[in-house]
Amino acid sequence: MASLDRLRSAYSGFMEGKVVDSFLREFNVKFAAGTWTAGDFSDRFNRGGYFPNLPGGLINQLRRVKEANIEGVVPVDAQFLDDGLKVRRDLIDEVKSTVNELGLKLAGLAMDLTGFHAFKLGTLTNPDPKVRELAISTFTQSLDIARELGLDSVSIWLGSDGWDYSLEANYGRKLELLYEGLLNLGKEARRLGIKSFGIEAKPKEPREGNLVTPTSHVTIMLASRLNSELRDKLFGITIDYGHELMYAVEPAYTVYVAKWMGVPVVVTHINTAKWHSNDEDRVVGTGDIWHFVDFIYALLDTGYSSWFTLDQFTYRLNPVDGLRLSKELFANLYKRALMLYLSREDFENVRLSGDQAKVLDYVKRIMYG
């Protein structure tokens, strides 16, 4: 196969710098970063931030993404809201202007209201009906922001919706409120011309029990039912690679479950975490690369063509260096998955044999060559 020959000849060895850019461009790999990945970062151990002298604000984050030579960027809806949850229209205009100036591409809008005090007990599933109404109206504003930015794809993460203790919540009621809230947002999204609406899962954090969407299998179920009621494939899932590892499922398997259920993968968030760990969000490719290559192969095999979006918090590592390193390591691991995909007829025949030694013999040089 010509593409496989090209891959072996033009992109042999470890790829860095401009070779990475050429590779991503030639094989049509869309690579982006969330604005949050560009720092600064703080946590409960260092509330002042790890790089306190780093210029703050969304515009400076855009500039750092550009400095890392990353093509796409995903802002968060909360960045466009003031403390009273009112939209900062001037910032929308400034972002559009800066993106054009820097030659970046907006790759979607992340919807996340976790950081606002009003939603400490949740958004769509908050116990207070007035707060739920406020959440719906605020998320509807977010859909408007997406359209003003020229976007037709959004992703929602409900970080404050869940519970911290067993017996705290009626789970059936939580599911009803979640479904009702997403259905209302779906109707509004469709009215506004949003084409894809991803739902992101995570087992826990910041909630210490579970989030209301703890696994991608729950979000697949939700998306399938919502789409059935809407008679449209509006809803899909956002797969965060590290979140899958948190609950010790093979991330690649989740990709095939979504495909089997007819639910689109709207976007992927990439990073590194350990099996059964917390949400580490470390540099891509610094964990178990077998899981990651398997994940990329599954996406290729199921026809995924959307963005690979960095979602990482490299606390003690300068964010620009963290972005650059993740891009390089991602490209080199993607190349391994692509080599398997471009020889998939032979590869799948080996897998069909059920002989584990033959499978490992087939992939060993691709994984470690």
Question: Hey, which residues does 162 pair with through a beta bridge?
Answer: 211
* Confidence at residue 3, expressed as pLDDT on a 0 to 100 scale: 87
Average pLDDT, the chain: 97
Distance of CA 244 to the CA centre of its chain: 11
Tell me: pLDDT of 98 over 60.
yes
Whether the CB-CB separation of 221 and 180 falls below 8 Å is answered with no
Buried b (16+ CB within 10 A) or exposed e, 240-279: bbbbbbbbebebbebbeebbeeebbbbbbbbbbbeeeeeb
Is residue 284 scored above 60 in pLDDT?
A: yes
What is the H or E stretch that residue 255 is in? helix 251-260
Q: How many CB atoms lie within 10 A of CB 346?
A: 10
Q: pLDDT digit string (tens) for 19-51?
A: 999 999 999 999 999 999 999 999 999 999 999
Task: Return the structure tokens found at 85.
Answer: 């949850």
Dig out the tokens for 141 from the structure.
């504003």
Percent of the chain with pLDDT over 70: 99
Residue 201 and residue 237 in contact, taking contact as beta carbons nearer than 8 Å: yes
> By percentage, how much of the chain surpasses pLDDT 90?
99
Predicted pLDDT at 369: 85
Closest to 286 measured CA to CA, from 276, 268, 272, 270 = 272
pLDDT of residue 1: 55
* Secondary structure letter of residue 34 according to DSSP: E
At 2 the pLDDT is 59
pLDDT of 229: 98
Residue 288 predicted with pLDDT over 60: yes
307-317 average pLDDT score:
98
- Report the C-alpha gap between 336 and 248 in whole angstroms: 23
Average pLDDT over residues 50-79: 97
Please, what's the largest Cα pairwise distance for the chain? 61
What pLDDT digit, counting tens, does each position of 130-151 carry?
A: 999 999 999 999 999 999 999 9
pTM here is: 0.97
Question: Torsion angle, CA of 70/73/79/85, rounded to 10 degrees?
Answer: 180
Looking at the structure, give the CATH architecture of the domain made up of residues 2-344. Alpha-Beta Barrel (3.20)
Is 192 within 8 Å of 147 (Cβ atoms)? Answer: yes
Position 21 scores a pLDDT of 98
